[in-house]
């Protein structure tokens, strides 16, 4: 089953890849790895875990941020079937000092990768609590994937 078929089965519709929020690239490809810049959840929710949102809401925000990452992957690769495996994800949870469930929040993104990619979605990860993040988003995730990318002799995507 293709990843596109899997997304349809999961009722996941990918948005267009969002533009970077400043002067940086959405992704960088190097030696078979695609480094995806930090993405937040669609809809631009604002606030902190432990104050404005509970863990369950954070889980959904992490899942939505993961869908944003999938949109960037599709934009970069043309097809999510070119993802060989998820390598590493890192989550920055905008949380109060006493919030202790960062790992449960990031599970929203980890679970999404496993649902979409199966065994290829198993990854290493880190999650950190942050005093503040860009635009007061509840979570930002960045990711590294091993991929098949079509590039020319000069290293330019074709």
Contact between 44 and 135 under an 8 Å Cβ cutoff? The reply is: yes
Bridge partners of 86, per DSSP, are 145
Look up the pTM and report it: 0.94
* Structure tokens belonging to residue 96: 């109060």
Per-residue confidence band for 151, with pLDDT thresholds at 50, 70 and 90: low
Average pLDDT, whole number, for the chain? Answer: 94
Q: Which domains does the chain have, with CATH numbers?
A: 3-13+26-147 (3.30.1330.40)
Per-residue confidence band for 11, with pLDDT thresholds at 50, 70 and 90: very high
Give the Cα separation of 123 and 36 in Å (integer). Answer: 14
DSSP letters, 54-111, are -HHHHHHHHHHHHHHHHHHHHHHHS-GGGEEEEEEEEEEEEB-TT---HHHHHHHHHH
Give the Cα separation of 34 and 144 in Å (integer). Answer: 6
Per-residue confidence band for 20, with pLDDT thresholds at 50, 70 and 90: confident
């Amino acid at each position: 089953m293709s990843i596109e078929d899997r997304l349809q089965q999961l009722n996941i519709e990918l948005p267009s890849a969002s533009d970077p929020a400043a002067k940086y690239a959405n992704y960088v490809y190097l030696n078979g790895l695609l480094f995806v810049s930090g993405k937040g959840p669609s809809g631009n929710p604002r606030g902190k875990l432990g104050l404005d949102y509970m863990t369950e809401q954070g889980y959904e925000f992490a899942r939505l941020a993961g869908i944003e990452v999938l949109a960037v992957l599709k934009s970069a690769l043309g097809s999510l079937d070119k993802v060989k495996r998820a390598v590493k994800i890192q989550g920055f949870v905008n949380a109060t000092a006493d919030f202790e469930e960062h790992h449960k929040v990031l599970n929203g993104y980890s679970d999404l990768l496993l649902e979409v990619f199966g065994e290829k979605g198993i990854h290493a990860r880190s999650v950190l609590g942050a005093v503040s993040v860009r635009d007061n988003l509840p979570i930002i995730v960045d990711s590294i994937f091993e991929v098949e990318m079509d590039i020319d002799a000069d290293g330019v995507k074709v």
